[in-house]
Structure 1
Amino acid sequence: MRAKKLISHLTVSRITSTRNVIIVIKREGVAHS
């Protein structure tokens, strides 16, 4: 139970960081264009 919760937490944080990276890339692309 605890391990499953930990895995889901890691997945959520990974998704959040990926989303942040995508936002930064889009922002950089807009700034360059």
Structure 2
Amino acid sequence: SVAYQPAFFRINSIMNTIAANNAQIASNIP
């Protein structure tokens, strides 16, 4: 279980980054 935690947090971080980018892009669309 411990071995998979870094991968989980890495994926979670990537998903959060993508979500933040999508929100910023959506806010820039008039």
TMscore range, shorter length: 0.7 to 0.9
Q: CA RMSD in A?
A: 0.9
Unaligned runs of 5+ in 1: none
Larger Rg: 1
Give the length in aligned residue pairs.
29
Shift >6 Å, 4+ stretches = none
TM-score (norm 2): 0.84
